[in-house]
Structure 1
Amino acid sequence: MEADIFEYQKEEDTVDLESFQGEKRKLIQPTSLQDPTLKKLKETLVDWINKTLKPEHIVVQSLEEDLYDGLVLHHLLSRLADVHLPVEEMALTSTAQIRKLEMIMEELEKRLGRQDSSQIKWNVTLIHRKDLLATLHLLVAMVRCFQPELDLPPNVKIEVVEVEVSKSGIKSDVKVEILTAESSDTDSLSSTEREDPIEQLLKLEAHKVNTVKKALLHFVNQHTAALGLQVADMDKQFADGVILLLLIGQLEGFFIPLFDFNLTPVSDSEMLHNVTLALDLLKDTGFQLSSVDPQDIVSQDITATLKVLYALFNKHKGK
């Protein structure tokens, strides 16, 4: 990704002060736009959006230019929270875009749990105005809510100029805005502190592990029964990838052509092909399973198998 993709707010940009007389605005200091941690955060968020929306064939290049009309945010809300709003796909006029953003923000506020409006650092007007600072705050909040396992660069801080224009003149103040917390804070845990839930589970007493395994098994059989399949041994029946592929197709709502995988695999290589295809499909639909190796599932590693099934359960429970 070329560095200049993200450099839209230039030092020579002029600000129309009359356009926001009577209100306060925050403007990012031009020097902060060159901060490596901010650039890394923007790249991480763009990459996250593109991976999440890959099945929708939506590609974002600029956070400033590609999110203001509501299309990307609408699809993110649909993929991450399974929320489908009655809005037009392409809002071409400013009025339609604002109306669409209002509906999206209303749904996001329900899920992000923001009670105090004074603490919200974004709104419809700012997002539609292509305000980079507000867009970054919103996306970071969405990651924290919907995909907390995603590693955002820690301790990203930028300098902003808070400008207030009135009839009596212009007041300005330089402040530091925090986009992501320090790695030691609870909002940005270290990889050790933010251990995978399945890794944590397997440290518990055996009866608790078995209870969770039974719940996952019940979930699996609920969705494979329509295919005439029954899973009795979670440790072994997913090793060849067949049931896993059929389960993914059933849950995600797509058909996997039989010529794409081995329906009756007999060798390790055929099993590995099946499982690799299954994990690739999950990654393409937005699942974060970087710590799962296909060979582990073929080798009947219960930890790897549970991680995949838990990810599916976490997305599709209650459906």
Structure 2
Amino acid sequence: MEANIFDCPQEPVTEDIEHFLGEKRKLIQPTALKDPKLKNLKETLVDWINSTLKPEHIVVQSLEEDLFDGLVLHHLLTHLAGVQVPVEEMALTSAAQIRKLELVLGQLNRRLGLKEEEEEQQQTKWSVPLIHNKDLLATVHLLVAMVRRFQPELDLPPSVEVEVVVVEVSRSGIKSETQIEVLTEKRDEESEPQGNGELRLFDTRAVQKHPASSFPRDLTLFSAVTRAHPIDQLLGLDTGKVDTVKQAILHFVNKNVSSLGLQVADMERQFADGVILLLLIGQLEGYFVPLCDFNLIPANHSEMLHNVTLALNLLIDTDLEVSNISPEDIVSQDVPATMKVLYALFKKHKE
């Protein structure tokens, strides 16, 4: 327990919420990663890369881990298109890797026949940030496009589709939509051909088995088609892909507590004693929580528990749905519990 929460280093709070919001992300459902068709496609692409770059003695084992720094893509571009890009062979720093990817992807997009306006639209499939962040969906999309352009005779597994959650954080809330994304098209003999990389919604036959209300297409939370809490669903995705939502919530928090001289950087730890949570509630709801009612510098677990319990009771009095959240979980720095409370406040006061 730190002696004083007010010792947290201060950073400027960005006033424009679009600094964090507005970008759409497509996240593969974890269960989809076990799909045999997807595994087969990944293995085929790995074998293709290794056979193509065998003369360079380059061996790829993982699409996510081995392509993010631009080295493999650079060699593929040189071998397949005969293009020499003036970049360093080994980019060791993150900044150098990003610069290398920018040059290599720029050349690749041109060789793939993408015009500038098409290249901008293509960012929903792959981009420098997505490839550098080891985004599997973007990496597969790019490699499939390269195979289609440079080695069309290669027989990729057909009809590979994955279930994705399309996520967008905006002023109207956190929206999500569950869709099926096509990675490889169906063969000519198969019905209903799909364009490579196009999206379609769930099979309508499945939707007809349930009430329409069970399949909301534009949600204010991370909820797909289940009744699970949206934060539980979010945290059930790839653990490395929840930062956008966390930063949006933290931006909202800091924007409202900055006038008190506070800055939150660690969502779980800094809310565990209830102090900042109480001050945030007071700021948002427009009232002052008397200092005699809580412990400004809690010295033990009991005082922290008192603070958090008071905060949750105040939220329940304002009709926020937090009655099923245990104060003990917040004190114990439970990630889902803390995010549920903060999201309830974000949802109510986002404007």
Residue matched to 1:151: 155
Counterpart CA distance in 2 for 1:125 and 1:30 is 21
Identity of aligned residues (%): 71
Whether 2:82 is the aligned partner of 1:82: answer yes
Counterpart CA distance in 1 for 2:63 and 2:20 is 23
TM-score (norm 2): 0.46
Whether 2:181 is the aligned partner of 1:177: answer yes
CA shift, 1:21, in A, is 3.6
Output one character per residue of 1:55-94: Cα deviation in whole Å (capped at 9) or x when no partner.
Answer: 1111101000100000000000111111111100000111
Local SS of the residue matching 1:49: helix
CA shift, 1:24, in A, is 1.3
Q: Quick one: which of 133, 138, 141 aligns to 2:145? A: 141
CA shift, 1:31, in A, is 1.3
The residue identity in structure 2 corresponding to 1:59 is: V
Counterpart CA distance in 2 for 1:87 and 1:144 is 26
Whether 2:169 is the aligned partner of 1:165: answer yes
The residue identity in structure 2 corresponding to 1:62 is: S
Local SS of the residue matching 2:30: coil
Residue matched to 1:108: 108
CA shift, 1:179, in A, is 0.5
Residue matched to 2:11: none
Q: Flag the 1:30–1:163 CA change in 2: closer, same or farther, 3 A.
A: same
Counterpart CA distance in 2 for 1:29 and 1:186 is 21
Residue matched to 2:121: 118
Counterpart CA distance in 1 for 2:20 and 2:154 is 36
What 5-or-longer segments of structure 2 have no aligned partner?
1-18, 197-351
Output one character per residue of 1:15-68: Cα deviation in whole Å (capped at 9) or x when no partner.
Answer: xxxx96432111001111111110000000000000111111111010001000
Please say if residues 105 and 128 of structure 2, whose CA atoms lie closer than 8 Å, have aligned partners that are also in contact.
yes
Counterpart CA distance in 1 for 2:46 and 2:159 is 18
Please say if residues 182 and 195 of structure 2, whose CA atoms lie closer than 8 Å, have aligned partners that are also in contact.
no
Alignment of 1:297-308 (within 5 A): none
Larger Rg: 2
Matched residues, number: 171
CA shift, 1:170, in A, is 1.5
Alignment of 1:1-319 (within 5 A): 21-115=21-115, 116=118, 117-120=120-123, 121-166=125-170, 168-184=172-188
Question: Bigger shift: 117-126 or 63-72?
Answer: 117-126
Output one character per residue of 1:186-213: Cα deviation in whole Å (capped at 9) or x when no partner.
Answer: 989xxxxxxxxxxxxxxxxxxxxxxxxx
Output one character per residue of 1:241-265: Cα deviation in whole Å (capped at 9) or x when no partner.
Answer: xxxxxxxxxxxxxxxxxxxxxxxxx
Task: Give the RMSD, CA atoms, in angstroms.
Answer: 2.1
The residue identity in structure 1 corresponding to 2:70 is: G
Q: Flag the 1:97–1:119 CA change in 2: closer, same or farther, 3 A.
A: closer
